[in-house]
Amino acid sequence: MRVPGDLKWSDVTPKPLWVNRRQIIAGGAALLATPALAKIEAAKSVFSTTDAPNTLEEITTYNNFYEFGTDKGDPARNAGALTTSPWTVVIDGMVDRPGSYGLEDILKDAPLEERIYRFRCVEAWAMIIPWIGFELGHLLNKVGVQPGAKFVAFETLVRPEEMPGQATSILEWPYREGLRLDEAMNPLTILATGLYGEEMPKQNGAPIRLVVPWKYGFKSIKSIVKISLVAEMPQTTWNMLQPSEYGFYSNVNPTVDHPRWSQASERRVGAGIFAGRQDTLLFNGYGEQVAALYAGQDLAKDF
């Protein structure tokens, strides 16, 4: 539902927890990309949900980021060594202005917004997250998309000395993802550089990550270092690993089960063991904005 987002962190997070955020993960975790995160000023987005966000602790301690380990708590434990400044993103392929862009160049004149999005993982857990970011379409327009481009491909940083999960062969590195160009240009698709009004925590994909709220979470690639405009559908990590389980599109769809579990319901992180499960919404509830993208497609086939 497209409604103004008018929640602040203070509406949903107890002030002592917010003030003491550096201590909320035992052992001194990787909440901070720098010794003191910069406050980010951002407009409220009309695309925000009215649901109350999860707490900062929940968002930063329950993550999938296999570059730091496969346990949900591994990213918070292991991401502290990641160097996020300086940071550059290579933009290449079918663009008018290819190059290696510093994060400061990417953010220059970017219309930052706070977008409180539903976020749904393929394992049937869900959160509400107050991202800070800007539309991916803004950056693509800035570099100039050439007429033959049909897809956008993304790659994550490879730095095994700082990302211990990359010392394993559980996935083929770098982590890769992709979108069809019309999906990438949809106004719901953002590049996020922060959450809860501050810079992105390392375990959540610092310093810049993709957020595509109507798709399962693994599509929202973290710590991006390369964006390529291409004519053919790009390879994506989970589809390469197991195509029968993870399709290219990966739209949230309660009628298309993962072969090993149902996707018909979901569990809200932090809701408690007695809260029960909720019905999964088609396109994660964003059908009004994105259903037209798939008119005429068989979503059981193009899963």
What average pLDDT does the segment 132-144 reach? 98
> Which of 288-297's residues contact partners 24+ apart within 8 Å by CB, and which partners?
288/1, 288/2, 289/2, 289/47, 289/186, 289/187, 289/188, 289/214, 290/183, 290/186, 290/188, 290/214, 293/180, 293/182, 293/183, 293/186, 294/249, 294/251
Least confident among 51-60, 180-189, 268-277: 268-277
- What pTM, to 2 d.p., does this model score? 0.89
Task: Return d(Cα 264, Cα 160) in angstroms, integer.
Answer: 37
| pLDDT > 70 in the chain, percent | 87
On the CB side of 47, how many CA atoms lie within 13 Å of its CA? 27
Instruction: Give mean pLDDT, residues 220-248.
Output: 98
Task: Give percent of the chain with pLDDT exceeding 90.
Answer: 84
Closest of 65, 81, 87 to residue 32, by C-alpha: 81
Q: What is the DSSP letter of 63?
A: -
Domains of the chain and CATH, by start: 13-293 (3.90.420.10)
Give pLDDT, residue 37.
Answer: 54
pLDDT in tens, 100-125: 999 999 999 999 999 999 999 999 99
pLDDT in tens, 162-205: 999 999 999 999 999 999 999 999 999 999 999 999 999 999 99
Pick the closest to residue 34 from 116, 91, 103 (CA basis).
103
